[in-house]
C-alpha cells in the first residue's frame, strides 16, 4: 500500500466498518466506509480487501484481490478522506472488468460513501 494508507487486517475492524452501513455497490466492486476510531485515527487511511467463496476458487479470489489492491493503490491516496477506514469487496465481475472501469467504479463509490470534504463536516457521519 502506498504512503498514507495502511491495511485493515483484524476481523473486528472489518465488522466495525460493515456495521456503520455506509456502502456503495458498483458493477465491479462494493465499497464500505467508516470513520476511524479515536485511538486509531491518526489521520491515515486504512484499507481492507475481501472476496467471498461465491466468486470462485482461491486462484480467482486472489486474482480479484490483486486487482482491487492495484486500483486502491492508484486512487485511495488522492481520493480518500483522511482518518477513514475502507473495505473493498470483490464481485463476480471484478475479474473480467476493464481496469479503467474498475477505477471509475472506485472513484464513484468513494464520492458516494464519504461526506463532502468541506471543513464543516470533515470526519463526521
pLDDT in tens, 26-35: 999 999 998 8
Of 53, 49, 56, residue with least CA distance to 106: 49
Task: Give me the DSSP letters along 96-124.
Answer: TS-HHHHHHHHHHHHHHHSPP-SGGGTT-
Average pLDDT of the chain to the nearest whole number: 85
pLDDT in tens, 13-48: 899 989 988 899 999 999 999 887 756 656 788 999
Q: Given this model, what pLDDT does residue 77 score?
A: 87
Query: Is position 47 within any domain?
Result: yes
Q: Given this model, what pLDDT does residue 81 score?
A: 86
Domain encompassing residue 88: 5-112
pLDDT in tens, 53-95: 999 999 999 999 999 999 999 999 888 888 889 999 999 999 9
Query: Is position 97 within any domain?
Result: yes
Q: Given this model, what pLDDT does residue 5 score?
A: 74
Q: How many domains does the chain have?
A: 1
Spatial distance between the Cα atoms of 85 and 95, rounded to a whole number of angstroms: 24
Output the domain CATH number for residue 97. Answer: 3.30.230.10
Query: Is position 106 within any domain?
Result: yes
pTM of this prediction? 0.83
Amino acid at each position: 500500500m502506498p504512503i498514507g494508507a495502511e491495511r485493515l487486517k483484524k476481523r473486528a475492524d472489518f465488522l466495525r466498518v460493515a456495521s456503520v452501513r455506509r456502502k456503495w455497490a458498483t458493477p465491479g466492486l462494493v465499497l464500505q466506509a467508516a470513520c476511524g476510531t479515536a485511538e486509531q485515527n491518526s489521520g491515515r487511511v486504512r484499507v481492507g480487501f475481501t472476496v467471498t467463496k461465491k466468486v470462485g476458487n482461491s486462484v480467482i479470489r486472489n486474482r480479484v484481490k490483486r486487482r482491487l489492491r492495484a486500483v486502491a493503490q492508484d486512487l485511495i491516496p488522492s481520493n480518500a478522506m483522511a482518518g477513514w477506514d475502507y473495505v473493498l469487496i470483490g464481485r463476480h465481475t471484478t475479474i473480467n472488468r476493464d481496469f479503467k472501469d474498475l477505477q471509475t467504479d472506485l472513484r464513484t463509490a468513494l464520492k458516494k460513501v464519504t461526506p463532502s470534504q468541506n471543513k464543516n463536516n470533515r470526519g463526521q457521519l
